[in-house]
Amino acid sequence: MSHCLSVQTEGLPFGKNVRLLGKNQDGLVALEKPENILSHPNSEKDIRKSLLHTSYDLDGEFYFWEAAGERRRAWLVNRLDSATSGVILLALDGDLAEVVKKQFSGHHVNKVYYAVVRQSPSVPAGTWQDTLKKDVYRGNRLVKGGQRIPAKTRYQLVTRPKGGFPVSLLKLMPVTGRTHQLRVQCSQRGHPIVGDRTYGKFSFNREVRAETGVKRLLLHSAETSLRYAFRGQAREFRAESPLPDSFQQVMRFRPGVTRGYGGGD
C-alpha cells in the first residue's frame, strides 16, 4: 500500500462512531456505519449526522474536503438506510468508484445482512422474488408507485429463541439492491423487522422498546465481498461488521429474567 493512500485514509473525517473496517491498495475502503447515521448529507445541515463530517457533491456522489493544503475526495460506492448499520464502501479514486459501482449494479457483489423479525418463516430457507413499486417523476409530476421493479433476496433462518419475544434472526442475502428492499420483503411476508418505523408492527415495536430499551431498526449489513479488475489487476475485497449488542439483547430477553438494556440471560 502506498504512503499516499495511507495518508488519505488516515485523513478521512469520520462521522460520529464511524469505524474503519478495511482498505486495499487501490483505495477501496470499508467503513462501519452506526444506526441513525446518514450515508451522505442531503444538505449542509445534515453534515454532522453523516458518514463523513464534510461536504458532499450530490451530482458527483463524492465527499470532499481540504487536508494539508490538498483537495481530497471520497466517492460513495453504495448506500445504507439511515436506520441500518454495518458495512458501507467508499473509494478514494473516481475511476475505481465507477468499476465497483458496476459490480453492484450488475449484482456481482455478495451482501449479507442480519435482521431480527417478528415470528419466523414457515420454510427455514429459500428465495423471495417480488415486484416492488417505485415512485417516479414524469415531467414535473410525481407518480406514486409509477414504476415496477424486480426484487430478489435469499434468506435463511438462523435462530428462533424460546420463551421470549416471538422473533427470529434471519440471514438475508439480497441479489438486487432496491430501496428498502429487505424491509419491504420481510413486512410483506408477515415478518416485519423489529424497530421498523415505516413497514413494521408499531405496537410490537413499542413493547420491545419498553421491555429492553432497544429503539433501533434491527437490520445490519454484516458482510460485503466482491471481485473486480482495476488497472490490469484482479482484486478480491471483503469486509465484515459484527452483530451489534442490541440484536442479542432482544433475542435473549425473557420476561421476569432480563431487565432493561444491557442485561443478560
The Cβ of residue 196 has, within 10 Å, a number of other Cβ atoms equal to 25
Q: Is 57 a catalytic residue?
A: no
Asked if 40 contacts 63 with a C-beta cutoff of 8 angstroms, the reply is yes
Q: Which residue, 245, 213, 193, is CA-closest to 81?
A: 193
Nearest to 32 by CA among 54, 17, 46: 17
Instruction: Give residues with Cβ within 8 angstroms of 36, minimum separation 6.
Output: 49, 82, 83, 216
In the chain, DSSP assigns E strands to 19-23, 28-33, 55-57, 62-67, 70-76, 85-91, 110-118, 125-138, 141-159, 167-174, 219-230, 233-240
Task: Give the alpha-carbon dihedral of 88, 117, 197, 48, to 10 degrees.
Answer: -20
Check 81, 130, 245, 265 and give the catalytic one: 81
Active site residues: 81
